[in-house]
Amino acid sequence: MTGRNITEEFKMEITSKMVKELREMTNAGMMDCKKALMTAEGNVEAAVKILREKGLSSAAKRAHKAANEGQIFSYIHSNNKLGVIVELNCETDFVAKTDEFQTLGRNLAMQVAAASPQVVKREDISEDVLDKEKDIFRNQALQSGKPEKVIDKIIEGKIEKFYSEIVLLEQAFIKDDKVTIDELLRETIGKLGENMIIKRFARFQLGEEAS
């Protein structure tokens, strides 16, 4: 068995129970916990260390703090046919003026311009949209002759990929595809010690119909 196959087989052993327990220990996000467990090959203590080093654990602990300050960031493409505005919130005006916060805001605006997300977080997607996507994926699986017993797993995998494409927080960062926007955000929270929230964004392309 190749090293790649061993890794893929092991990834399947990271259970939802393990992820839940790590989340309860650290307050980090579910996806962050799962990735940490995969990196740590199931070692909980090592996974906790990974989350703390990334600032994800401390970031989660600040999630209840009010984030009523911040700034609006914008990006206009060089051809003046594409523009983006992003509202990034934090707890204090002091942090809003730091280089780290400013860099994050600019990167977020560029991300929205380049990757065309539709929502900030997966909870913003309506059940109707999700149901339609699941129906499409189910029909695709059935038409390709997949056995009924694996179709739910196939749909689950395709929905996760769907999230990674249209949810801003779950997209790969355009400057480093090994990092998600959620991880980038939490890393900055850990560095600056304040809660931060991507409140909303808007993307405008010349000639595009308003939704």
Residue 124: beta bridge partners?
Answer: none
Q: What residues does 202 pair with on adjacent strands?
A: 85
Residue type, 186: R
Q: Which CATH code, of 3.30.479.20, 3.90.1150.10, 3.90.1180.10, 3.30.1330.10, is assigned to 69-121+167-205?
A: 3.30.479.20
pLDDT at 2 over 80: no
Residue 197: Cβ within 10 Å count = 20
pLDDT at 202: 96
**Residue 156 has what pLDDT?**
85
Name, in order, each residue with C-beta under 8 angstroms of 34's C-beta and a sequence gap of 6 or more.
14, 19
Q: At what angle do helices 16-26 and 30-39 cross, to 10 degrees?
A: 110
* Band of residue 4 on the pLDDT scale cut at 50, 70, 90: very low
Q: Which residues pair with 201 in a beta bridge?
A: 86
Contact 44, 36 (CB under 8 A): no
Domain spans of the chain, in order of start: 3-61, 69-121+167-205, 126-165
Cα–Cα distance list, 98 to 71, 95, 175, 177 (Å):
11, 5, 21, 25
Residue among 203, 187, 197 at smallest CA distance from 88 = 197
The token pair that represents 99 in the structure block: 């280089």
The CATH code that applies to domain 3-61 is 1.10.8.10
> Average model confidence (pLDDT) for the chain?
84
For domain 126-165, give the fold. GTP Cyclohydrolase I; Chain A, domain 1 (1.10.286)
Residues in the chain: 211
54 in Cβ contact with 48 (< 8 Å)? no
Q: How confident is the model at residue 87 (pLDDT cuts 50, 70, 90)?
A: very high
